[in-house]
Structure 1
Amino acid sequence: MAESLKHKAADSLPTDDEAQQQNANTSSSILPSHHSGATKEVSDTDSTEAGEGLPYSPFSTKVKVMVVVITALTGLVSPLSANMYYPSIQTVRSDLHTSQSAITWTITAYMIAMAVFPLVWSNLADQIGRKPVYALSMIIYTCGSIGCALSHNLAALIASRVVQSAGSSAVQGAGAGTISDIYPREQRGTALGIYYLGPLLGPCLGPLIGGYIGEDIGWRWVFWILAIWGGVMALLAIFVLPETHRRLVAKKHKIQQVNIPPPLRLKDNNPLLDIATARYPAVAAALFHFAMIFGSYFTNATGQPLAYENVYGLSPGMSGVCFLASGIGCIFGSTSGGRVTDIMLKRKKRALIAKMQGGEEEAKAIRVPAEARLEVMWIGTLLFLCGLIISGWLIDKKLSLAGVLVMQFCIGAGMAFTFQSLGSYLIDVFPSMSARITGVQNFWRSAWGAVIVQVFPTMLSNIGWGWSYTIMCFLTVLSFAVMQCVVFKGEMLRRRFGPPTSI
């Protein structure tokens, strides 16, 4: 898996020559523009303070690829931990002599911790750097996984799952910040596409791996294998992964003074302040759509083993194989979504330059509004909605399993494509706090995911698969409709209501 990610990253990510060419267009300070749809800025290449002729990042292409691969593999830890457990949950319930309603708290507690702890980790990552956060979090995660493997009662398992989630959730916030550290805005979408492969593959690979492990050698070995994975990631973070935080890197290397946040004090590590970014209308709309897409996707992922085993009569192992459909969709949507958003950004900039009347220096200072990232988001959302509602009714009517798998591919591809647009947009809006804004989006989507996962079994028993999926589609359509206000009026909303640091 690591080699596959590395080769994919090497083929997709920009080379050093491409980076130098595009770095010339990266800007530092923002001034109002008289040209519609653009922001005129002081170019880095024209400002000594910004770093004339300096690279955006001091790392070579090979080092950047390595950073992206390690970050993606670390990001795989959290969703793997959540999803490898699902196929064995009935066996765990039987071994621990507990009820169905009680055992679901091992899932809910994990989701709640995954919502809260990234806010703390992402603040720490912006204060002390990415490397120590990765190392410490993976050590905590490994300890939590060992605790799960050794648990002999429900209380111990729930407590260990919280520790496991607390450790694994660090990269949910710090990961996107790491990508923002080493890639400028024009290249960031593609790099984020490679990074998101890790977190997005977990929901499909987890049940596949966990199903066969649980069947063959027992559910405790699911957690022992996760502990080994966490230990390997901790060693990579300690001995291989370089520090990428731009403020810390700038102390050792001459780089462009772009997206370098001021030093933060430990007392400023207040997650409530980060959550409050939802007070900005444009940000709130993006977080709302994030939450609805993720909640529906996560609920679908948790419900699929039940559908495959109870409706279509598959074994836990074969049920896990079926998750490959959404996993392949995630790969397609993540890689293509990142590339498309980067292409759209560059094309929009060329169009704005063509409309301008000015010299070459003025053209270099043009920066496309962040909302350009959202212009193709509808493709992913439409694909996601079609896959979700058709899949739900196919299962409800016990129709073609092949049709369900095709729709699962659409769900994975649509979700990943949409996440690319939304994630890149929020990072562009908060360029100097990329890790923290990623922690915020993770908080809202995980909180909603924890709620809907608890409600979903009741929905299934009362209204069935078809109408349950229809309700999730309705909520996603609602959030998409709200998001259209940002697509068409987002720049105006940000100028009027904030955030003040936005592009």
Structure 2
Amino acid sequence: MVVSLEEDSLTPRERYSVFTTTQRWCIVGIVAYAAWFSTLSSFIYFPALKSISQALSVSVDKVNLTITSYLAVATIAPTLTGDAADTLGRRPIYLITLSVYLVSNVAIALTNSYPALVGLRVLQALAISGTFSTAYGVVTDIASPAERGSYVSAVSFAGTVAPSLGPILGGFLTYAGNWHWIFWFLSIASAVCLFLIAVFLPETSRNVVGNGSRKPPRYLRPLVPALTEQWEEWEEKGIPLIKTSRRPNPLRSLKILVRRDNATVIMACGLLYVVFTCINASLSVLFIDMYGLNQWQAGLSYLPLGLGGTISTFFSGWLIDRAYRKARVTQGLTVDRGRGDDLEKFDIEKARLSVIWIPSAATIVTIVVMGWALNYKQHIAFPLSLLFITGLCMTLGFSIYNTLLVDKNQQNPSAAQASSNIVRCGLAAVAVSFLDDMLVAWGVGWTFTFMGGLCVCATGLFVIDYYYGALWRQNRAKNSHD
């Protein structure tokens, strides 16, 4: 008989997380806000490329170097913070990285030097690019597998709304003022986020506070313990402190990456992210050249992509969690929302990937059709409609993937996301550096057809993991136990 075990009947020690549903959503909201800057810092910049090149008297190609350098640093930087966040705690990583990020934004807003811009963009990427991997670690800390999809979707939403809202903000700020206002905006927004984390965000790392009921060291406590009443309620019930001797290891992300089951889905996501980045990097230029738009109007062209991604988040979590429960029921297993389910012998790959096929197929079709619609300069409403579908389907795919990756690596979720970052940002940096050459040599239609082909390859990799991922993962766990 299949039953669903809820939290209300469990003692604090037995629960997967002692944080209430309201507290969990507050926590996820804060970390999603922090993760937002990782992608926003890149995409808010695109509409200002021509303005920056004119203001600093350099070519657009040189300004593009600041994009490539940002992505290159973002490839490696999360490996420095991912395992540290898993081991030492989430709060110190957030406080340090956001502080450096704030300083770098203020410095960029004050500079008029191209060399300074390149160097500060590198510092900006070094500081902020790890916030996404840390956010997924927080989700794994507080949400059991049966309800994880909803919280992952919220974090994925932050990553999806940034590429669409970012260019709109960047275009408006550049059009209304100048490119410096982009970084004043980032400075103000990140200062607010840093304040929220310092004052309210509790420590959630299971290596430090377990399921949230263990009081962390004083330096890991928020200034206002509004989300940590459980310390006072249960600290006198004999729950021991967690002591860990493991030290942060930046190479742990590489060890995670070389596992076959991880490498397969990480490469699939990397290919999808290449396509997503190339679409966003090319849209403003293509719409300006083909439809005669100004920078502000070109920024608005990203709105359908973001709107589709936003709508996706309203049902993606429900869809992912429903597929999980259905898979458990099919195998005659219980769904334990309270304690959390043992995933070691469960085929989590099929449970998560069972809902990815339709959005993958729709993504392939819409990208190819959109490329040829732009190539033949069809009415602007047509490619904008296709952008909406692309945003909806790709966001859903990213939510499914990110949920699966933390499920595969529950002990090291931030390090696992950092390993994913190595691949997706590395591939995206290479692709963006060749994007203009491809558009010139192949034309818009064939370039987007090539991107559709990359999506086909990504879908093929998901198929491989669907059939073999659980076997590879379980064999590795068995060998490690032996």
When the two structures are superposed, what TM-score results if normalisation uses the length of structure 2? 0.87
- For 1:147, the equivalent position in structure 2 comes to 107
Change (3 A) 1:58 1:484: same
Q: Which residue of 2 aligns with 1:233?
A: 193
Within 2, Cα distance between the matches of 1:275 and 1:469? Answer: 31
Where relative contact order (Cα < 8 A, 6+ residues apart) is larger, the structure is: 2
RMSD: 2.5
Question: CA-to-partner distance for each residue in 1:325-371, whole Å, 9 max, x for gaps?
Answer: 010111223342222111011011112218x9xxxxxxx87964211
Q: CA deviation at 1:442?
A: 1.5
Q: Deviations over 1:273-301 (max 9, x none)?
A: 31232322221110111000011001100
Aligned CA distance change for structure 1 residues 262 and 301 (closer, same or farther; 3 Å): farther
Counterpart in the other structure of 2:180: 220
Matched, 1:304 2:283: yes
1:77 aligns with 2:37: yes
Q: d(CA) in 2 for partners of 1:181 and 1:493?
A: 25
Q: CA deviation at 1:265?
A: 3.9
2:319 corresponding residue in structure 1 = 340
Pair 1:106 & 2:66 matched: yes
Match in the other structure for 1:452: 431
Per-residue CA deviations over 1:471-497 (Å, capped at 9, x if unaligned) read: 111122122112212112222222335
Structure 2 letter corresponding to 1:21? E
Counterparts of 1:128-139 in structure 2 under 5 Å?
128-139=88-99
Decide whether aligned partners of structure 1 residues 273 and 500 sit closer, same or farther in structure 2, where only a CA change above 3 A counts.
farther
Selected match of 1:269 from 235, 239, 249:
249
> Aligned letter for 2:470?
E
Residue 183 of structure 1 is aligned with which of 110, 130, 143?
143
The letter of the residue matching 2:384 is: L
In 1, the alpha carbon distance for the partners of 2:461 and 2:4 equals: 35
> Secondary structure at the residue paired with 1:376?
coil
Q: Contact 2:257–2:420 at 8 Å: present in 1 too?
A: no
Contact 1:297–1:411, Cα closer than 8 Å, also in 2: no
Contact 2:290 2:377 in 1 (8 A): yes
Quick one: which of 21, 36, 51 aligns to 2:6?
21
1:407 aligns with 2:386: yes
> Contact 1:145/1:227 (CA < 8 Å) preserved in 2?
yes
Aligned residue number for residue 289 of structure 1: 268
Q: Does 1:165 align with 2:125?
A: yes
Describe the shift of the 1:317–1:227 C-alpha distance in structure 2 as closer, same or farther (beyond 3 A): same
Counterpart Cα distance in 1 of 2:355 and 2:316: 9
Question: Number of paired residues?
Answer: 446
Residue in structure 2 matched with residue 481 of structure 1 by the alignment? 460
Deviation of the 1:401 alpha carbon: 1.2
CA distance in 2, matches of 1:396, 1:86: 21
Confirm or deny: 8 A CA contact 1:333 1:415 kept in the other structure: no
1:14 alignment counterpart: none
Whether the 8 Å contact between 1:75 and 1:198 is mirrored in structure 2 is yes
For residue 459 of structure 2, what is the amino acid of its counterpart?
Answer: F
* Structure 1 contact 193–339 (Cα < 8 Å) conserved: no
| Contact 2:48-2:174 within 8 A present in 1 as well | yes
Task: Report the Cα distance in structure 2 between the residues aligned to 1:91 and 1:311, rounded to whole angstroms.
Answer: 19
2:360/2:397 contact within 8 Å kept: yes
Q: Runs in 1 of length 4+ with deviation above 3 angstroms?
A: 364-368, 496-502
Residue identity opposite 1:113 in structure 2? V
Aligned partner of 1:392 in structure 2 is: 371
The C-alpha deviation readout for 1:231-254, integer Å capped at 9, x for no partner, is: 111111111111111222233356
Amino acid of the residue matched to residue 460 of structure 1?
L
Q: Check if 1:424 corresponds to 2:409.
A: no
8 Å Cα contact 1:430/1:501 also seen in 2: no
Whether the 8 Å CA contact 2:252–2:415 is kept in 1: the answer is no
Structure 1 unaligned segments of length 5 or more: list them: 1-17, 25-44, 46-50, 357-363
User: C-alpha separation between the residues in 2 aligned to 1:90 and 1:164?
Assistant: 21
Equivalent residues of 2:257, 2:416 under 8 A apart: no
Go from structure 1 to structure 2 and tell me whether the alpha carbon gap of 1:499 and 1:163 turns closer, same or farther (over 3 Å shift): farther
Q: Is the 8 A contact 2:301 2:384 kept in 1?
A: yes
Contact 1:135–1:235 (8 Å) recurs in 2: no
Deviation at 1:148, TM superposition (A): 1.2
| Aligned partner of 2:297 among 313, 318, 325 | 318
Distance of 1:427 and 1:434 partners within structure 2: 5
1:369 is aligned to: 347
Superimposed CA distance per residue, residues 83-138 of structure 1 (whole angstroms, 9 cap, x where no aligned partner): 11111111111111112221111101111111111111112211221111111111
- Determine if contact 1:337/1:418 at 8 Å carries over to the other structure: no
Contact 1:386 1:410 in 2 (8 A): no
DSSP 3-state at the match of 1:59: coil
Contact 1:91 1:219 in 2 (8 A): yes
**Equivalents in 1 of 2:332, 2:342: separation in Å?**
10
Say if 1:93 and 1:386 are closer, same or farther in 2 by CA, change over 3 A.
same
